[in-house]
Chains A and B, each alone.
Chain A
Amino acid sequence: MSFPIDTDKVVKDMVQAASGALVKGGQQATDYASHEFEKFIADLDHIQDLLEKGKISAEDAQYYADLQKSSMKAVLLTIQGLGVIAVQNAVNAALAVLTAALGAALKLAL
């Protein structure tokens, strides 16, 4: 007795499904991260500019820079979350392929 399951193909399909989800999620995280990092640098440049023009004190400049830096914690957590979602989607995509392959093999075996 044998079950008609092509393990090589199933593994290949699982990897393909997982990598597709990873690439999509990774791209989303990268786009968001680069956008936010650019904004952060622009904000720091603005603070530096205000300081150089004498519109704010050095103490205020440091305070504002710390404030923006602190708010970046939320951004980093979002980047981490987008990565987690990508991994989750990749694993579930691979599991879906495995489930389908096992289901098909079972039908044929019976």
Chain B
Amino acid sequence: MRRPITNAPTAVCALLFFFCSLLVACTSVQLIPPYDSNIDKNVTALQSDTETFLVKVVRLEKLEPGTYKDYADFYDKEKVAVSGLQVRVEAVSQNTLTSGQVNTLSETYAALEKRHKEKGLNVEDAYEYEKAFNRIFEAILTLEVAKKGVPATTGSSK
């Protein structure tokens, strides 16, 4: 004998609510990716290399344009490191802001290299580049550290 369905509307609505809450529970909005310790580490390493180079410029007081080739290793190393950083940043979706920052970093290295090649570098150049680079490094790290509050696993929204 079949049991009568006595409270069908309640059951339907309860089911509906269950699915609603399941939906809300599974949906958190993600507008920016979570913290990436590799970006933090790589940017810190870049900062250290760059600072070492600029401190050397200050100590030597002047690097003539002809010395550019002696420092080609530094520029090559930084170029490779920034390129690697850019690949890592762009491999993660919604990372356009950090990607833009790494572009700015790349442009600044290119400007430093051009300056060295064409005019050489003096103490003032070193101080001004130090300020510019540190501003960029700090900006990247500030944003990255702020991402620590962003949940690693999320549901939706691009």
Contacts and interface: CB of A to CB of B under 8 A. Distances in A.
Nearest to B102: A74
Interface residues of B, number: 43
Contacts, number: 123
Given A70-B104, A70-B108, A102 B147 contact: no
A95 B27 contact: yes
Nearest to A24: B149
A62 B24 CA distance: 54
Interface string B122-140: 0010001101110110011
Contacts of B20: 102
B17 A102 contact: yes
Interface residues of A, number: 43
Interface of A: 1, 3, 28, 32, 36, 39-40, 43, 47, 50, 55-56, 60, 64, 67-68, 70-75, 77-78, 80-82, 84-85, 87-89, 91-92, 95, 98-99, 102-103, 105-106, 109-110
28 contacts: A1-B10, A1-B13, A28-B146, A39-B135, A43-B131, A60-B124, A67-B128, A67-B129, A67-B132, A68-B132, A68-B135, A70-B111, A71-B135, A71-B136, A73-B104, A77-B97, A77-B98, A78-B139, A78-B143, A81-B97, A81-B98, A81-B147, A82-B143, A88-B29, A88-B30, A95-B28, A103-B21, A106-B21
